Structure 1
């Protein structure tokens, strides 16, 4: 095993002269074997090693095991770093423990200038991990198993024992008379990994002794397949997706030109992008719902995907982002000569036509509607959000629902909810800003124009 390990390490550049390599050692047979092999290689190839150990304090024997490992490292002149896990959660212990371990490893890598972290995952761990992931979610992205090498904490993370079975590791540990210890919790069948290890893996190995090699093969193929998919999806996203702060958007027509298989992986790629940058999770169920809605040819729809996140389709634009802050209904009373902000992006004034309006600096470059007003335009108007049933008199013989006007103008749903209407004190709609004005409020050519309504928006 030592000869094979040395050849593999040289071939795959696990080490080089002057390397500083941190070993994650629990004290079990696999991590002790890694420690022994790397200690021998470090003497032969002139690099240094250190040992990182987490005392999870989940078992009475944890403290004694940590002491024994510390003593072993002292006797062999190996740097030893220990950390106790003080805040053990009541649920999700396995995932919390993993996060705690890797946070400690990151800290050691940065503080003591280690360039490589090595863990003792082996071929049986690979099989168990892939089975667990397939049982849990059946996702290609997650099914690939444990990577042999990846970037980590400014350096790299290597798992050099992945080619070896648990039996090979135990055989070597016995031959070397290593003082490893067994974690009795590995035999508790209330833990899924233990059930797979004790009840399923032996059956698979008995069915085909090559099962570990086959799963290693499958894992590598899945990694390569995922890399190909990611490259293709990244290229499409780069060319078609716009990212503004915490939102992503793209043209639906461009998306629908993709084959169905690429649509799925494109959305999955975007979901992973959002998860990394914004810590929002889009479930498989929601991915499938988005795909179905996009092919349903519905002009507008909205899908909540998290407490404060949504997917919004507005005609040919699809946006994944945070829900807009709800604008509580407000009512403004304006008289001739009044001006003011309706919102952060809207400003309104009713002024004398020959008055030189003193515009706020921020609104000067905004879009504007300047509407001359009829002589009988009321001295006081109310500006409020539209409500169901609002109607506006566009012509003497044409009265139309405000909601219908918004649909005809293809105003997106989110903007419809923000639309302001101008009414008189009797609730007669005089204008829908900035879309339509009642014929009752528009000055005719024969009128002598006294006032105008100025609406600035962006």
Structure 2
């Protein structure tokens, strides 16, 4: 394995001699193999090697013991060590974000601080070929945009240095064998065996099926990722040139305009990317969650039609207006009161929402992976039929762990939801009027822990 990784490093020019390398180490087999590999080449490459480890405090004593294990191994291997503990749950609560996002933010903040403080050249991660395959598969399932199909980059700039991933050329099994051969007994996170997490589902359920058809899947996926990344870099460069040549920008009020003839004369691949550059400019890189490929299709359809003076609506009151040979993007001031929306949501069934998205209801016999866009409950705990509506004056909501109830207005404020989005936000209630789900923000009920054949699952898409 050492020769394979070394050749990969040289091929992609990931490392230079006489440099400082920080290695992110969790104590698991991937990062421990990575740390041991760098120790094995330290003298030959004249590297200053420093292990970084983060205790996310998510598994109590086990998390702390992981950190202590890494420190102990660094002492045995004569490697510099810097560890820290971060309050993921506190940060998650304050910022109203998910656990994994909070953990990643705090972890990368620590890495960035150490990169700058130590003036390090590289930060090495233990992501391997199977990780890359999982990443690509998840993106392929979730995204309709080829721009996002490339996987984790082999290297990228970070905090004055470069993040590198030297193990993308090997599999999880090869790393486990490497640990066994070299007498490394890594720490194992028990949550890795749970298919409740999306990535674990792909790792445990999907990837083995694909590998049965292609034993070198990790190499195929890595080659695909690198090819797509190179293609996308070129297309983005050309799109930025087209943006400057075709699009006229105004700052007060903020608008973007282009002549349709000039725009459609360019390659469709560039048209799509310039469209996204326009949106990034107008939304100041804070793209709305409900902005989807449907809006892109609407715009491209509008360009192809002969009709003049047509307008389509985008999130946050962005208007796109076709005026003769021009297309104009501009924001219309939000109306004080939007029309109320209220529909019965049958089970099974679906409702098309005013924003163009859907809410789908189904009966389920077993759990599937959950996220902020899904809701599951026991049929016996609610009164059917379900209703989907927008908010009303005095709306309040309660959930497990909350003493009493809370105004929807305050929930929106806590979640930093823009004022113009609140009146159209979808709310699910049962037939008694009890709010079950403020879609994407709050759920009345936790995931049921009892076995039943009568679950109801809602999907927002």
> Which interval holds the TM-score relative to the shorter structure?
0.5 to 0.7
- Report if aligned partners of 1:280, 1:306 keep a CA contact under 8 Å in 2: no
- Return the alpha-carbon distance in structure 2 between the equivalents of residues 20 and 323 of structure 1: 52
Partner of 1:343: none
- Report if aligned partners of 1:15, 1:47 keep a CA contact under 8 Å in 2: no
1:207 aligned counterpart, secondary structure? coil
Q: How much has 1:203 moved relative to structure 2?
A: 1.4
Q: How much has 1:266 moved relative to structure 2?
A: 3.0
Q: How much has 1:94 moved relative to structure 2?
A: 2.3
Residue 64 in structure 1 maps to residue 65 in structure 2: yes
Q: How much has 1:190 moved relative to structure 2?
A: 1.0
Change (3 A) 1:188 1:18: same
2:295 aligned counterpart, secondary structure? helix
Change (3 A) 1:232 1:185: same
Partner of 1:204: 210
Partner of 1:229: 235
- Report if aligned partners of 1:6, 1:41 keep a CA contact under 8 Å in 2: no
Partner of 2:74: 73
Partner of 2:160: 154
Q: How much has 1:32 moved relative to structure 2?
A: 0.6
Q: Could you list the per-position Cα deviations for residues 352-372 of structure 1 after superposition, in whole angstroms to 9, with x for gaps in the alignment?
A: xxxxxxxxxxxxxxxxxxxxx
Q: How much has 1:296 moved relative to structure 2?
A: 2.4
1:16 aligned counterpart, secondary structure? coil
- Return the alpha-carbon distance in structure 2 between the equivalents of residues 68 and 315 of structure 1: 68
Which segment drifts farther, 230-239 or 240-249? 240-249
- Report if aligned partners of 2:157, 2:163 keep a CA contact under 8 Å in 1: yes
- Report if aligned partners of 1:310, 1:321 keep a CA contact under 8 Å in 2: yes
Give the gaps of 5 or more residues in structure 2.
Answer: 337-461
Partner of 2:436: none
- Report if aligned partners of 2:50, 2:79 keep a CA contact under 8 Å in 1: no
Q: How much has 1:308 moved relative to structure 2?
A: 4.8
Residue 141 in structure 1 maps to residue 147 in structure 2: yes
- Return the alpha-carbon distance in structure 2 between the equivalents of residues 326 and 207 of structure 1: 56
Q: How much has 1:37 moved relative to structure 2?
A: 0.9
Partner of 1:239: 245
Partner of 1:254: 262
- Return the alpha-carbon distance in structure 2 between the equivalents of residues 136 and 70 of structure 1: 38
Change (3 A) 1:72 1:260: closer
- Return the alpha-carbon distance in structure 1 between the equivalents of residues 37 and 217 of structure 2: 25
2:286 to 272, 279, 284: 279
Counterparts in 2 of 1:322-337, with a 5 A limit?
Answer: 322-324=331-333
- Report if aligned partners of 2:26, 2:54 keep a CA contact under 8 Å in 1: yes
Partner of 1:8: 8
Residue 84 in structure 1 maps to residue 65 in structure 2: no
- Bigger CA radius of gyration: 1
- Return the alpha-carbon distance in structure 1 between the equivalents of residues 282 and 189 of structure 2: 38
Residue 268 in structure 1 maps to residue 276 in structure 2: yes
Q: How much has 1:269 moved relative to structure 2?
A: 4.2
Q: How much has 1:176 moved relative to structure 2?
A: 1.1
Q: How much has 1:209 moved relative to structure 2?
A: 1.0
Partner of 2:372: none
Partner of 1:109: 115
Q: How much has 1:272 moved relative to structure 2?
A: 5.0
Partner of 2:192: 186
1:278 aligned counterpart, secondary structure? coil
Change (3 A) 1:248 1:177: farther
Q: How much has 1:11 moved relative to structure 2?
A: 4.5
Q: How much has 1:199 moved relative to structure 2?
A: 1.2
Residue 28 in structure 1 maps to residue 23 in structure 2: no
- Return the alpha-carbon distance in structure 2 between the equivalents of residues 69 and 261 of structure 1: 47
- Report if aligned partners of 2:144, 2:293 keep a CA contact under 8 Å in 1: no
C-alpha RMSD of matched pairs (Å): 2.5
- Return the alpha-carbon distance in structure 1 between the equivalents of residues 49 and 322 of structure 2: 55
Residue 298 in structure 1 maps to residue 307 in structure 2: yes
Change (3 A) 1:14 1:232: closer
- Report if aligned partners of 2:92, 2:98 keep a CA contact under 8 Å in 1: yes
Give the gaps of 5 or more residues in structure 1.
Answer: 328-458
1:200 aligned counterpart, secondary structure? helix
Change (3 A) 1:316 1:163: same
Partner of 1:430: none
Counterparts in 2 of 1:332-411, with a 5 A limit?
Answer: none
- Report if aligned partners of 1:24, 1:117 keep a CA contact under 8 Å in 2: yes
- Report if aligned partners of 1:54, 1:85 keep a CA contact under 8 Å in 2: no
Q: How much has 1:123 moved relative to structure 2?
A: 0.4
Equivalent residues, number? 326
Partner of 1:338: none
Change (3 A) 1:280 1:8: closer
Q: Could you list the per-position Cα deviations for residues 334-367 of structure 1 after superposition, in whole angstroms to 9, with x for gaps in the alignment?
A: xxxxxxxxxxxxxxxxxxxxxxxxxxxxxxxxxx
TM-score by length of 1: 0.65
Q: Could you list the per-position Cα deviations for residues 392-427 of structure 1 after superposition, in whole angstroms to 9, with x for gaps in the alignment?
A: xxxxxxxxxxxxxxxxxxxxxxxxxxxxxxxxxxxx
TM-score by length of 2: 0.65
- Return the alpha-carbon distance in structure 2 between the equivalents of residues 66 and 321 of structure 1: 52
Counterparts in 2 of 1:39-54, with a 5 A limit?
Answer: 39-54=39-54
Change (3 A) 1:217 1:8: closer
- Return the alpha-carbon distance in structure 1 between the equivalents of residues 270 and 7 of structure 2: 41
Change (3 A) 1:169 1:272: farther
